[in-house]
Structure 1
Amino acid sequence: MSSKFFTNTGGNTLFKKFEGIIKAMKPAAFKAVSAYFRSSGYFKMREMLKEVEEVKILVGINVDTLIADAQKRGILYFKNSDKTKQEFEKWFIEDVKEAQYSKEVEESILQFIQDIVDKRIEVRVHNSQSIHAKFYIILPKEHSEYTDGWVVMGSSNLTEAGIGSKKAPNYELNIALKDFDDVEFAKKEFDKLWEDSDVLLPADVDGLIKKTYIGQAFTPFEIFIKLLIEYFGKNIDYDPNTVGDLPSTYKKLSYQIDAVNQGFEMLQKHNGFFLADVVGLGKTVIASMIAKRFCIANGFAQTKILVVTPPAVEKNWKQTFKLFRLDKNTKFITNGSLNKIVDEKDLDNYWEIDEYDLILVDEAHKYRNHRSQGFDYLQRICKTPRKAEGLIEGDKKKVILISATPLNNRPEDLYYQVQLFQDIRTSTLEKVNNLQNFFAPLIREYKDIMNTTTPDMGKVRNIYKQIREKVIAEITVRRTRKDLKKYPKYLDDLKDQGIIFPEIAPLQTVEYQFNIPLGRLFYDTIFNLTDDNKIGYYRYQAIRFLNKEIQEEYYEKAELVSQSLAGIMKTLMVKRLESSFVAFKKTLENLLKSTQRMIEMFENDRVYIAPDLNINTLYEKGFSEEEIEEIILQKNTKNARNNIFSTDDFDPVLLEGLKKDANSLKTLFEKWQKIKNDPKIDKLFSILNSTLLDKEKNPSQQLIIFTESNDTADYLTEKLSTKISPNKILKVSSENRSKIFDDIQANFDANYTKERKNDLQILITTDVLAEGINLHRANVLLNYDTPWNATKLMQRLGRINRIGSEAGIVYNFIFYPSAQGDEEIKLYKKAYIKLQGFHSAFGEDAQVFSKEELVEQFELFKEGGEGEEDKRLHYLRFIREFKDNNPKEFKRISNIPFKARTARKNENTSFDDVKNGSIIFMKSPYKSEFYRVNGKEEIESIDFLEAAERFEATVSEKGFEVPASHYKDVNLAQSKFENDTIQANIETVTPTDKADGNTMQAKKFLRDIKGTLNNEELKIACDQLIKLIDKGTFTNIPTDVKKIRQQLDKQKITFGNAQQLILNLANKYAVSSFDSIKNNKEKALDILPEIVITETFIK
């Protein structure tokens, strides 16, 4: 006996059941009660119901919202026919919005409305809270106990998925009954509900279709405006009150308010962003305003802020936050002290690591090296979940990275900075779901380009372009000079403040000439300094030549450390040579003496080796370059921490190398001791008054001279004192910066609020003044030696290139030695290639450039920096002005329903890639996407700017009916959106770089460890670490696991030790605190994208 129950599986659907019953009995009536109804579900059945005389559909309307609304207004809810019909109207509009996008479905919706108007079917709505039943009655003309009748009931609603008429039906369980008593009972229940329901008259539904996209025609201009409204959202409304009250000394400037709103939105969407406004627009103030807005949104009492800052600008941050009344909510910490929070050993001055809600990182580019301890500390501070939510939901901290140069770091640098708030394999970015897969090939390509003899800067530009468009655009707030000048509101702000932008003159190189003997010695010296066969810097490679057993006991990565130190010394020597002959001679003499002393140690059989120097740690602690270089030069000094070895502990190759180095260095030293003339200082004297202090160029008659060497700074001070009164010259280094800071400001800062001074004319400084100070009373800057990377060059220029500069143009000069002949040029290039190879291999921060490359990098730096207008701002300005000038039209177009579309003539676009094709804008709660489908049905994801340019239209342009191809194009976009979402949630690690290998090995090791254990705590720790590795939450977990594995493989630790180290690692990264994190990406799989607007181009 067959069961009366059936499901929607195996083709045995409710649709098939209806079809069989109706075909067999030719009924006179079909009555349906459905808690949830779709017009497309009715349409699928329309054909089989065409001979049925009486079709009645009773729809259950959920009145919970009506009751809640009544309660809010303090009244009881009574049945209200008008309210019920309004709910039906909302339901119908939502039905159209969510229905499958096809011509057939649109016709079904139109037919459903027409059938009601023609009284072919009757539809009523029931507003009882208790109606959750779904049942269907099929009756003959005269139903009795002698005639067939059916009632089908169960879980199926009258929708495509419910009745099983679409490809992937819901799982439903229903029962079909035909006993007279069962059918009669159902019939009476239906009649009672029917009488108690509200009638939908033809007049009620006739206007419904006009409130959906199906019943309206749209012009291309309306579609364009709808695009801008949906894309910019709340940012269209300029609301100065979002930042609360400002200190009395600050105005609410429109460009700052916009930056605050944009940044706050990025914090909510991506948990972090780069604040990269052009120099002088007040990044500190904007960051403070965002922090205040965050406090308002999250609740002041619940908000704790951390500001990470270089020591030089800590005072300024504290003053600004005090003015904004944020100081009680904030802790300030300098770069080199992050361990105090991570180790939680200074809880009197800092909160615990999981208590912070918002983290601001000034000079964020200092954290581009993922191998440094500072990066590791900062990432853990930023990514350890916050334990107490405020009014802003979620346990992810919010991070603001403040840097003027995010677009122009190496791709690798940017990749790691983004990881301070993004997980690399599950990012929130719309264009790049897997940051590792995106960056790995670009990092490789960049390194390959920069390792060539003549780097192709066009290819470098293309790499930057990809990163800018697909990553940076979504997570960067930046206002450029062109933005401010083009936007009237911004321009008014600048005029009100009397702000003037200085222009930047092209980088000007000053070449100094050698005589022939000096030229040969100069380039021959460069060759010797950079050729390992000439000078190997063995003094700094001692640990590399220790016997293997001693290396393993005392020094980790001995070879890498040795080569890195030798490479730094090699670079330092060339830098000193280019800086000044005085600085070079001193450094050369120090290196010679240091090498000779080590040879003496070997002769005495007592060899002292200082502890490892961690260069990155010294940088993080705030040491300047000259201080670090001094430490390296004095590395041989004996102290209690030095390790003492005997001659036999070393490979004899070391002593041979030391002697060879000593001979080469001595020869060079003797040659340079004979050099008394200095063509570089002579060149400076020759241009000092005619160019650098020329009144036409330099109205203030002030000059800033930067050098990387403290010895050179001393030398310049001494020499220039013979040309200008010594009292007019001030020399600054790390030793005296703090003591004379007020004097520097009083003489060179145009924004100085106290009494100005005019005592000083020339400021000679090392890079201790390259950041954190204004020097813009001066407008001429001289780089006496080559900084070798564009970032440092721009940082120096940023001291005088500031809003409020007293001169109209700022000048930037750089000294270079002139190569007299082809041989010298070849030698020079070879030296730089070798140095570049070192920097690429060991991941040093400083990029090495030849003169030509540096100039080109400088120009590239300005692209995407100060010179380029943010085109998004152009469209934001346009929609704001449209709203201001046309408020009623703005409101009307705002209410245009989703799925609005139009067709346009090919002749009205200049873009060939959309002719006979379509543009589609779609979004879900988790991402927005724009697609371009060409006439060959080839689909491509495009960014907002590309889409906006193609959607852009004039008011007068007419729209046309969309062609049949339009539906194919839109469905193609829907499929791509859904597939992309699925792919983004498949956590894969593709073999693209070394980091992938570490990731796979780390996961395998943790799985292997877990498989051998009965310890539940350790099993959980392994699982949690693997999850964080899969997501790419913490950059260094795979490396940390690798170290444990290597120690175990070399039998340096026991298996029990390894287990404890894994537990320590889980504790280090606070893995247990990640249990509560909800992954929005997983939710995204269940949500279909909404079609916002579409456009198809036709002939």
Structure 2
Amino acid sequence: HKSTLRNPKVKDLERYFNGLQSKLKGLDRQQDKEEYLSVVKENAEDIRKNVLKDLMVRRTRSVITGNYGDDLKKQNLKFPEVGDPEAIYYNFDEELDSIFTDTVDIIVNQFKYTRYTPLLYLERSLTTIEKLSQRNMQGFMRVLLLKRLESSIFAFNKSISRFIYSYEKFIEQYQKGNVYVSKKHINKIFEYLDNDDDESIQKLIDEDKATAYASEDFYDEFIVDLKADLKALKNIQGLWSNVKNDPKLEKFIELLKTDPVLKNNKLIVFTESKETAHHLEEMLNPVFDNKVRAFSSFSSPAERTEVIDNFDANARNQKDDIRIVISTEILAEGVNLHRSNVVINYDIPWNPTRMMQRVGRINRVDSKFDTIYTYNFFPAGQINENISLQEAAEAKIEAFIEMLGNDARLLTDEEIKSHDLYKRLTSRESIIGDDEDDPELRHLTFLRKLRDTDKELFNKIKKLPKKARSAKKYTEDNTSTVTFLRKGKVRKIFKTTRNAQGILSEEVDFDMAAEIFESDINTKREKIEPEFYKHLESNKKEFADVFIKESESLKPAGNRGNKAKLIQIIRAIEDSPEFTEIENDYLRGVLTLMRDGSLPKATIKKIIDGIKNENTPFKIYGKIKSGIPEQFFQSTFVTSSADTRGKREVILSEYLVRSS
């Protein structure tokens, strides 16, 4: 479980995350909602500060242009302009609108999804987790059908046919006295749900017969509801059996032929259904010179290479065999497609964040285009002269979300009010992200400019001696001290506070420390008072405690015998006054070897036998060091961002005097 993160607090990730999880123990998500959400928020901030900050760098368009604007100009680079997404409305005639509305009503209000929630009918009590899992499955399958309905008539009919086949086979087995319940692959099912792969879900559910029950183990309502569901599915199939036209597809073809932007550029079309993608490929190729390609999880590595060669401006072997690529979410991340400047969302991107990710494939700083275009399809029902197309589309979206109730969060992946969703899907802010400040980058940019424009001052700062200190007045209720400390590659900043118990220290991040250190050129330097040294010692102790906690976390669960004895001995002598940082680092290295299982039992036993009743720390240290050959450490002390070798050092401090 050893990580290479710099912060010793998260060297053992399993222990770290278990600690966060334990804070939620005993809290009910519903009854203790406010406290539960508060703890979740605290945990999220803890993870951001201690884990993600070292793993992720998020630079939005506004942050890059704000901090690197001059560099971009020098290199003749720029981001293309991004306008508001353009809404494309498609209408139903009166009959089709009635079919659509009736279908939604059946999916949401009549269909019970009994096939996918068999445990709810089992004649025994269920655990809370089992009940929740079954309810979630019901919600996920409901959302899946609604997404298919909005995606394309073709994909929806395919899904309904699979549902009917699955129900018929399930009922057939029930009547033979057998019920097979799939619990084994529930996580895999959710993964398929995320990828809108209902065909694989159906196959997994149908084939997994890990848990078998007898039909009589279930309440009588089970078979009644199964048959009612099958009847509802066949009713839906009957509603759509005579529908031959597809107004959404017809609108798309018309637009591709007439819109000036779409006629003359490479296009990237996103859909949440791979069946929709491949159906569109089949329908569009005869109309557009066979230059349309579908890309999904069905596609091969060779097909991926073909897409990159046709759409990545940095591809070595650029080609023009494809003008329109139709893809599932599989192309929304990790590739550059900036030979195009158009993204079309054929399905409603229910989660606006996905829209940003999709447009991010073409919104590149080295794009040759001046403008990025986004088109979003919306169903607007039947033509009504009394309301606008926008109002009709908003009403459809609102109906979807309101009818789903609590399951709406499964559709949007976040809490979004129905009247806000349309607004977000037609706003450029959802594409480029909110304008935000990055304090860390802002301060680093300031230092970079200082380096380039005032080399003398920059070198003076670089040559500041260790333990440098200063003082200034600061707007706080009590005096405090900010200290920057280092040990190996671990760097931390602590700030003191005062309460009834005395002086306390807490870690602060770079952003907060930089804000505190930042001073006007005319800021007066204050006198450093004796109180400063108490604050400094508190910060130093807090920094030292980080490494003590780390060594404590090295104890494996269930240590017994000589290994446990040696760990106990090392902890007893570690940080003895006569030890330098060299001795302490060595002992922590021994703890690491034992945690990783790198020390043979015979070696540990020999050390314990050699120590016997010895109680002098230096002599115990000598016995340990002589008993462990140097080669044991050669593969352990690999330099990394988590390397803590070296002595603890105070780099600089600032004493903050309370303003009177």
Write the distance in 2 (CA, Å) between the matches of 1:795 and 1:565: 27
Write the distance in 2 (CA, Å) between the matches of 1:877 and 1:1088: 26
Look up the match of 1:945. Answer: 511
Q: Per the alignment, in what secondary structure is the counterpart of residue 526 of structure 1?
A: helix
Check 1:838–1:708 CA distance in 2 against 1; reply closer, same or farther (3 A cut): closer
Partner AA of 1:870 in structure 2 = D
Q: Which runs of 5+ in 2 are unaligned?
A: 381-390, 551-555, 572-593, 601-632
What is the aligned-residue RMSD (CA, Å)? 5.5
Look up the match of 1:159. Answer: none
Check 1:599–1:744 CA distance in 2 against 1; reply closer, same or farther (3 A cut): same
Q: Which runs of 5+ in 1 are unaligned?
A: 1-382, 384-395, 401-417, 428-432, 453-459, 840-844, 907-912, 988-1002, 1028-1068
Matches within 5 A, 1:51-90: none
Partner AA of 1:476 in structure 2 = M
Look up the match of 2:446. Answer: 878
Look up the match of 2:158. Answer: 586
Partner AA of 2:180 in structure 1 = I
Q: Deviations over 1:958-1005 (max 9, x none)?
A: 624438xx5547745754774687599679xxxxxxxxxxxxxxx9xx
Matching of residue 753 in structure 1 with residue 310 in structure 2: no
Write the distance in 2 (CA, Å) between the matches of 1:967 and 1:679: 80
Matching of residue 923 in structure 1 with residue 485 in structure 2: yes
Shift of 1:588: 1.8
Matching of residue 633 in structure 1 with residue 194 in structure 2: no
Matching of residue 707 in structure 1 with residue 276 in structure 2: no
Q: Deviations over 1:274-320 (max 9, x none)?
A: xxxxxxxxxxxxxxxxxxxxxxxxxxxxxxxxxxxxxxxxxxxxxxx
TM norm structure 2: 0.67
Bigger Rg, structure 1 or 2: 1
Write the distance in 2 (CA, Å) between the matches of 1:736 and 1:608: 35
- From 654, 667, 674, the counterpart of 2:222: 654
Partner AA of 1:752 in structure 2 = A
Look up the match of 2:371. Answer: 809
Look up the match of 1:1094. Answer: 655
Which is worse superposed, 461-470 or 804-813? 461-470
Check 1:853–1:933 CA distance in 2 against 1; reply closer, same or farther (3 A cut): farther
Check 1:896–1:889 CA distance in 2 against 1; reply closer, same or farther (3 A cut): farther
Shift of 1:661: 1.0
Q: Deviations over 1:811-859 (max 9, x none)?
A: 23322334749996764333343324668xxxxx955856634865998
Shift of 1:591: 1.4
Partner AA of 1:600 in structure 2 = E
Write the distance in 1 (CA, Å) between the matches of 2:82 and 2:91: 27
Q: Deviations over 1:695-734 (max 9, x none)?
A: 4xx6952211111223322443344457x32413222333
Write the distance in 2 (CA, Å) between the matches of 1:701 and 1:440: 55
Partner AA of 1:959 in structure 2 = K
Partner AA of 1:793 in structure 2 = M
Q: Deviations over 1:132-172 (max 9, x none)?
A: xxxxxxxxxxxxxxxxxxxxxxxxxxxxxxxxxxxxxxxxx
Partner AA of 2:450 in structure 1 = F
RCO comparison, higher one (Cα < 8 Å, 6+): 2
Matches within 5 A, 1:972-983: 972=535, 974-975=537-538, 978=541
Check 1:645–1:815 CA distance in 2 against 1; reply closer, same or farther (3 A cut): same
Partner AA of 1:398 in structure 2 = T
- From 563, 566, 570, the counterpart of 2:138: 566
Matching of residue 577 in structure 1 with residue 149 in structure 2: yes
Shift of 1:1098: 4.7
- Contact conserved, 1:530 with 1:570, CA < 8 A, in 2? yes
Q: Deviations over 1:301-359 (max 9, x none)?
A: xxxxxxxxxxxxxxxxxxxxxxxxxxxxxxxxxxxxxxxxxxxxxxxxxxxxxxxxxxx
Partner AA of 1:663 in structure 2 = K
Matching of residue 398 in structure 1 with residue 4 in structure 2: yes
Matches within 5 A, 1:1016-1035: none
Write the distance in 1 (CA, Å) between the matches of 2:29 and 2:118: 32
Write the distance in 1 (CA, Å) between the matches of 2:85 and 2:9: 34
- Contact conserved, 1:567 with 1:838, CA < 8 A, in 2? yes
Partner AA of 2:311 in structure 1 = F
How many residues end up aligned between the 2 structures? Answer: 570
Look up the match of 1:423. Answer: 13
Matches within 5 A, 1:310-709: 383=1, 396=2, 398=4, 423=13, 472-473=52-53, 475-482=55-62, 484-485=64-65, 492=71, 496=75, 499-514=77-92, 518-519=96-97, 521-531=99-109, 534-542=110-118, 545=121, 562-603=134-175, 605=176, 607=178, 609=180, 612=183, 614=185, 616-617=187-188, 625-626=195-196, 628-634=197-203, 647-685=215-253, 687-689=255-257, 693-695=259-261, 700-709=264-273
Shift of 1:573: 0.7
Write the distance in 2 (CA, Å) between the matches of 1:916 and 1:643: 65
Partner AA of 1:833 in structure 2 = G
Check 1:967–1:574 CA distance in 2 against 1; reply closer, same or farther (3 A cut): farther
Write the distance in 2 (CA, Å) between the matches of 1:1074 and 1:653: 62
Write the distance in 1 (CA, Å) between the matches of 2:235 and 2:90: 25
Check 1:545–1:882 CA distance in 2 against 1; reply closer, same or farther (3 A cut): same
TM norm structure 1: 0.43
Write the distance in 1 (CA, Å) between the matches of 2:564 and 2:536: 41
Q: Deviations over 1:32-72 (max 9, x none)?
A: xxxxxxxxxxxxxxxxxxxxxxxxxxxxxxxxxxxxxxxxx
- From 718, 721, 741, the counterpart of 2:304: 741
- From 507, 518, 524, the counterpart of 1:959: 524
Write the distance in 2 (CA, Å) between the matches of 1:469 and 1:419: 11
Look up the match of 2:618. Answer: none
Shift of 1:655: 0.7
- Contact conserved, 2:347 with 2:376, CA < 8 A, in 1? yes
Taking every aligned residue pair, what percent have the same amino acid on both sides? 26
Check 1:934–1:475 CA distance in 2 against 1; reply closer, same or farther (3 A cut): farther
Write the distance in 2 (CA, Å) between the matches of 1:895 and 1:739: 57
Q: Per the alignment, in what secondary structure is the counterpart of residue 337 of structure 2?
A: coil
Write the distance in 1 (CA, Å) between the matches of 2:77 and 2:23: 41
Write the distance in 1 (CA, Å) between the matches of 2:468 and 2:205: 74
Check 1:757–1:884 CA distance in 2 against 1; reply closer, same or farther (3 A cut): closer
Check 1:746–1:619 CA distance in 2 against 1; reply closer, same or farther (3 A cut): farther
Check 1:795–1:631 CA distance in 2 against 1; reply closer, same or farther (3 A cut): same
Check 1:501–1:610 CA distance in 2 against 1; reply closer, same or farther (3 A cut): same
- Contact conserved, 1:519 with 1:820, CA < 8 A, in 2? no
Partner AA of 2:111 in structure 1 = I
Write the distance in 1 (CA, Å) between the matches of 2:417 and 2:256: 25
Shift of 1:860: 7.9
Look up the match of 2:344. Answer: 782
Q: Deviations over 1:872-921 (max 9, x none)?
A: 233223334434554444444433563522445x8xxxxxx449966633
Check 1:564–1:487 CA distance in 2 against 1; reply closer, same or farther (3 A cut): closer
Q: Deviations over 1:930-976 (max 9, x none)?
A: 53779999988654333433433344x1624438xx55477457547
Look up the match of 1:181. Answer: none
- Contact conserved, 1:480 with 1:870, CA < 8 A, in 2? no
